[in-house]
Amino acid sequence: MPGMNPLYTAMPTTVFEHMSGLARSLGAINLGQGFPDEPPPPALCAAVAKAMAERSQHYPPSAGVPELRDAVAAFYSRTQALQLAREQVIITSGATEALAAAVMAVVCPGDEVLLFAPAYDAYAPLVRRAGGEPVFVPLAPPRWAYPAAAIAAAITPRTRAIMLNDPLNPTGSVASAEELAMLARLCCAHDLIAICDEVWENVRFDGQPHRSLLAEPGMAARAIKIGSAGKIFGATGWKVGWMVAAPEIATVLAKAHQFLTFTTPPMLQWAVAEGLADPALAAALQADWAASRAVLNNGLAREGFAVLENSATWFSCIDLAASGIALDDATFSDRAVREAGVASIPLSALWEGDGAPLGIVRLCHCKPPVMLEEAAARLAQWRKSL
């Protein structure tokens, strides 16, 4: 197309938009794109309405309203024992914007950035848009462990940063304490910045508190921690996220952020600040998602599907071969949405480089139990025709 940037004209629509579009057009149950069907907690919605009526509707400070920056710092002090100051917190319009700002602030043309496959599909395009080169290190099912030798071998004099998504979407796995320590040692030894996508930090079902790479020895001055109110409160459309880093890094992050979205709606920021101050809100949602996760996993297992073990996120994965299904993941997902009326995400769509497992699909479980039971039943009935 004349005059258009070829970087984007050649870029496909994301798999999430594609599968959700198919689900809408076909009337299928959408277990592909990750979002709850229920609204955010009533207290949070009431806080937005109150802020709309009583507080400013004009540009807030680019770095975020002071109340939310303080609330994020207090939230991490209470839940993860991180000692932070307001100056270390920059509010963004969602975590994807935070990722973009972090990449723009860190990556220069020619830099290499280590990514782990499978990966959220925005990572590599953001690195390339900054002029960097993504270098993928594959993870392997079923545990999706971080291979120390392969990671060390992938580091070159051009390596500038690593991007770590922990807990990991799409697998729902969590890095072990030993793996976090290993990653921290490599970052310190090779002078790397760690961009840490930790949006699923509060969506864990193993009873363990989240530990950030930021908390590892030597990482306070070289890690950027990214969080999301959308994931904590099931409010994905609010697009309120944040970056946390040492003050000198946060200053640079703020400069990148100001030329992306500049700021985030203030009424949403004030509401999220209230939500973070009330531990009961997030705890209740976590309990609800644990229950819906059990409904989907148990329903799938009952129907003979092999569900991979996981301990976090809104997602469960099916191993097709272990389930006795002789289809690759892309074919399964395409046929399932059209023939069974259930949308899913093929794991290979979130993979670049060699070694992609071609037989794993991801399903979203933060949905009403009746919907999840129906989805499992539809897939089981359709499976008989394969």
Report pLDDT digits (tens) over 313-327: 999 999 999 999 999
Question: Across the strands, what pairs with 135?
Answer: 114
- Predicted pLDDT at 11: 64
- Predicted pLDDT at 119: 95
* Nearest by Cα to 19 from 356, 336, 382: 336
**Mean of the pLDDT values across residues 351-371?**
93
- Predicted pLDDT at 10: 65
Report pLDDT digits (tens) over 57-78: 999 999 999 999 999 999 999 9
Distance, CA of 26 to CA of 379 (rounded, Å): 16
In contact, 276 and 74? CB cutoff 8 Å: yes
Distance, CA of 378 to CA of 259 (rounded, Å): 47
Report pLDDT digits (tens) over 154-193: 999 999 999 999 999 999 999 999 999 999 999 999 999 9
Q: Where are the domains of the chain?
A: 6-40+281-383, 56-277
- Predicted pLDDT at 353: 80
- Predicted pLDDT at 6: 75
Q: What is the average pLDDT score of the chain?
A: 96
* Nearest by Cα to 127 from 95, 90, 162, 157: 162
The token duo for 126 is: 């953001």
Helix (H) or strand (E) holding 115: strand 112-117
Distance, CA of 216 to CA of 214 (rounded, Å): 6
pTM: 0.95
Local confidence band at 355 (pLDDT 50, 70, 90 cut-offs): confident
Residue 276: φ, ψ to 5° = -65, -25
Share of the chain above pLDDT 90, in %: 92
Local confidence band at 106 (pLDDT 50, 70, 90 cut-offs): very high
Second-level CATH architecture of 6-40+281-383? Alpha-Beta Complex (3.90)
User: Does the pLDDT of residue 1 top 60, yes or no?
Assistant: no
- Predicted pLDDT at 4: 81
The answer for residues whose C-beta is within 8 angstroms of residue 3's C-beta and 6 or more apart is none
CATH class of the domain comprising 56-277: alpha beta
CA distances from 110 to 102, 138, 224 (A): 16, 22, 21
The answer for residues whose C-beta is within 8 angstroms of residue 319's C-beta and 6 or more apart is 141, 142, 306, 307, 308, 359, 360
The token duo for 373 is: 């039971």
- Predicted pLDDT at 2: 65
Instruction: Please tell me which residue, 3 or 148, carries the higher pLDDT value.
Output: 148
Report pLDDT digits (tens) over 206-260: 999 999 999 999 999 999 999 999 999 999 999 999 999 999 999 999 999 999 9
